Structure 1
Amino acid sequence: MKVPPPPRPKFSSIRGRWSLSWRKQKLVQIHEALTCDPVDVETLREAAVSEGGLLCQEIRRRVWPKLLNINVYSLAPKPGPSIRSNHRDYNQVLMDVRRSFKRFPRGMAEAERCVLQEQLIDMILYVLSSHPELHYYQGFHDVAVTLLLTAGLRLGTAMLQTLSTHHLRDFMDPTMERTRSVLSYLMPLIQSERPALHDFLLRSEVGCIFALSWLITWYGHVLSDFHQVLRLYDFFLASHPLTPVYCAAQMVLMRESEVLQCDCDMPSVHQLLTKIPLDFPYETLISRTRSLLQGHPPSELERQTSLQRLKSISAASFRSLQISTAQQRPDFVLRQQVTPPSEELPTRSQNTLVKLAVWGISASLGAAALAVTQTALEWGPDLLLGLF
């Protein structure tokens, strides 16, 4: 079911000097937003949700922390294995991580994957130990591994900690009651857009369980293409915590004709919905999910269902997170505040070739490459335009 991509914007010039592709234009906009003081988080959010998302891992390592109000120069020490055996969830985390080899890039050396799996265990247990009120759920490791592969251990742990107390908080209660409550928003959204499809799903008695793994792993467990997972993470990190529910509803809406053509029984409909087509148009999905969010805002949806469902903790905390992200300083200011003058990175004229080389560093280096990579970004549009 291939849908042609929307036309990409063409920009004749910027600052009177360049003819830019849409990709280069977005890179310049991201750079300018990151170097504003305070950081222009709204522009970063728009870049994350608009076509193409954040484009590459280096950009994600710079933007994702800003979307979550994380100071990359004030990270906690690297998590260690000391908390493992004494933690209540250690055995379950260990089993889930051991089974997670499919979440790592194909062709990765086994020794490298084993090291990352050990880091994944430390990462998860550190967050859970830091917040005893949080309870591990199967699928939490799928979110953690995406952050680890993108940002490395220390930065990935910081992002996982913030997500656990905000976007993912509803799933980390001691019971699944609040998770079921979040799932229950799915059918009203479908009903509001396609009453006939909603009635068919009710008659089939398929329920909402088919979407459970979608929501609690942010689709990381069900998508085989890591780039598709990253694209959705761009979208979710920049959006309301209930966005994955809207995304699930929109995914069902986009497959309406397939659903209505299958047998109206639970096994048939469940099997169809859980098998996401390999060629599913994710840019179209994101665009239409944004429209669904605008047409049926989360606040309106919660008011309609407030009498019979638990209130979403994640949704309630979103406004405070939004406010905090608006007060961030750009990274070059943060670096100056913590780096002694004698230890500052060399200037552009001192070692240009070395700085250019960092753009070839693989994602597996994660946070270790962050400080150097961001320096290249801070040079400005002239450098960025020559790299893509």
Structure 2
Amino acid sequence: MKKSRSVGAKSPLNGKQGVSDWDSRRKRKVADITHALNVCPVDVAALRRMAISEGGLLSDEIRCQVWPRLLNVPPNILEQEPDKVERENNKDYNQVLLDVQRSLRRFPPGMPDEQREGLQEELTDIILRVLSRNPQLYYYQGYHDIVVTFLLVLGERLATALVEKLSTHHLRDFMDPTMDNTKHILNYLMPIIERVNPEVHDFMQQAEVGTIFALSWLITWFGHVLSDFRHVVRLYDFFLACHPLMPIYFAAVIVLYREEEVLECECDMAMVHHLLSQIPQDLPYETLISRAGDLFVQFPPSELAREAATQESTAASTFKDFDLASTQQHPDSVLRRRRRQKQAAQEHSGKAGPIVAVAQPSAARRFVRLAIMGITVALGAAAIAVVNTALEWAPKLDMFTP
């Protein structure tokens, strides 16, 4: 069996008792994943819940079994011989070769040169094979950062099948001849931020920073900007189990998590862009994943589409829009009502003093945190709703049995 490079999330608790509790939860989770894989038909909903919940899928051995199920790739794909790759006759060959040669840091430190060079050859073949099979797809710089992640976890043959499915679904917008649909997805970022923290939104608008700082995050699923492979595959667990727009929600929660840094920065486009483009490597990933899931439920893409753009993107139109139940709590409506009440109170009492004016943003931010974090705890109602919806828009193939 292949040795795992991914050990999953570490225990969030300190001390022997914390380690013991995490070990117990981990063993239980492995048992739940095994059961979901062995029932007939495979319990894909349970696998999605496992991929989203704390620690994700825990190891690369498990990912080899679960990732194909999340993308509905049949298990007999390993029995098929891969197509022969015509490198020199492929219009993208030279650019792919350059990008692959520059991908040294994406391979595990200390890997022997011979092994790495062999993987780079496989990486090139996977990309060219998918492009030749799907002439409607256009290569973009950063695509190789996604493909190499699947190669390192799954091996060439299985990675080819999953990357091809991913390229015609989740990544479809990025693989158009123009960047119009990619820009469209980026346009969801500011409406999400505005609904959670209008102060950060207004500051970024005033700085005219735009959303280009998040481009490499989005088109590589953060693979290009994160140095720890464990964090990359943890995010891939999450994204594969969710709607194709989830990466932009995760980008939003990163910005919101850094709200104090952003607001303390000089309100200058270059300064704010530099700050935001330098993504921290020590992010609290499990917390941010939970928040991203919450925001998706509170502000689904269908609610933001008009603000993002009038034209629906290719990938998003492949899936059924998320319909939020009328009984679902909306923290944004609570916040809007509180802001209206606050404004009315200020108008009634006259000008606010300087101390109140300074204190209000901090208090508002604390309330936003409580409103957002109070919706779900770990795998609560929001995460379950995300999973249930994922089953509706997930890539469809004939049902298969283990």
With the shorter chain as reference, the TM-score category is 0.7 to 0.9
CA distance in 1, matches of 2:393, 2:202: 37
Instruction: Map Cα deviations across residues 295-320 of structure 1 (whole Å, 9 max, x no partner).
Output: 0112222244452xx31221222356
Which of 41, 50, 73 matches 1:38?
A: 41
Amino acid in structure 2 at the alignment position of 1:324? K
1:226 aligns with 2:229: yes
CA distance in 1 between partners of 2:263 and 2:69 (Å): 42
Cα deviation, residue 274, structure 1: 1.3
Percentage identity across paired residues of the two chains: 55
- Range that drifts further, 146-155 or 71-80: 71-80
The verdict on how the C-alpha distance between 1:107 and 1:157 changes in structure 2, with shifts beyond 3 A counting, is same
| SS in structure 1 at match of 2:396 | helix
* Contact kept in structure 2, 1:38 and 1:326, CA below 8 Å: no
Match of residue 124 from structure 1: 127
Counterpart residue number, 1:113: 116
Alignment partner, residue 394 of structure 2: 322
Matches within 5 A, 1:281-292: 281-292=284-295
- What is the rounded CA distance, in whole Å, between the counterparts of 2:107 and 2:395 in structure 1? 35
Q: Is residue 2:164 matched to residue 1:161?
A: yes
Mapped partners of 1:212, 1:91: distance in 2: 23
- 1:72 Cα deviation (Å)? 2.3
Q: CA deviation at 1:254?
A: 0.7
Distance in 1 between residues matched to 2:397 and 2:33, nearest whole Å: 16
CA distance in 2, matches of 1:79, 1:99: 25
C-alpha distance after superposition, 1:39-65 (max 9, x if no partner): 110000000010000000000000000
In the alignment, structure 1 segments of 5+ residues that lack a partner are 11-18, 331-388
Task: Identify the residue that residue 314 of structure 2 maps to in structure 1.
Answer: 313
**In structure 2, C-alpha distance between the alignment counterparts of 1:27 and 1:107, rounded to whole Å:** 29
TM-score (norm 2): 0.75
Residues 67-146 of structure 1: matches in 2 within 5 Å? 67-75=70-78, 76-80=80-84, 82-146=85-149
Distance change in 2, residues 1:132/1:186 (3 Å) = same
Does the CA-based 8 Å contact 2:253-2:291 persist in structure 1? yes
Cα distance between partner residues in 2 of 1:113 and 1:20: 33
Counterpart pick for 1:204 among 200, 203, 207: 207
Would the alpha carbon gap of residues 325 and 255 (structure 1) be closer, same or farther in structure 2, given more than 3 Å must change?
farther
Name the counterpart of 1:345.
none
SS at match of 2:77: coil
C-alpha contact 1:65 1:71 (8 A) present in aligned 2: yes
Higher RCO (C-alpha under 8 Å, 6+ residues apart): 1
TM-score, with length taken from structure 1:
0.78
User: AA paired with 1:313?
Assistant: T
Residue 53 of structure 1 aligns to a residue whose secondary structure is coil
Q: Which residue of 1 aligns with 2:387?
A: none
Structure 1 residue aligned with 2:191: 188
Against the structure 1 CA distance between its residues 325 and 192, is the aligned structure 2 distance closer, same or farther, given a 3 Å change threshold? farther
Closer, same or farther: CA 146–323 of 1 in aligned 2, 3 Å:
closer
C-alpha separation in 2, matches of 1:299 and 1:32: 34
Alignment match, 1:269? 272
- Residues 89 and 282 (structure 1), Cα distance of their counterparts in 2 relative to 1, 3 Å cut: same
Report if the CA contact (8 A) 1:5-1:283 is conserved.
Answer: no
* 2:340 paired residue number: none
Cα distance in 2 between the residues matched to 1:298 and 1:42: 21
| Partner AA of 1:173 in structure 2 | D
CA RMSD of aligned residues (A): 2.0
User: How far off is 1:266 after superposition?
Assistant: 1.1
The match for 1:260 is 263
TM-superposed CA distance for 1:118, in Å, is 0.4
Number of residue equivalences: 314
Which secondary structure state, in structure 2, belongs to the residue aligned with residue 286 of structure 1?
helix
Q: Distance in 2 between matches of 1:205 and 1:279?
A: 27
CA distance in 2, matches of 1:126, 1:218: 21
1:366-377 equivalences in 2 (<5 Å): none
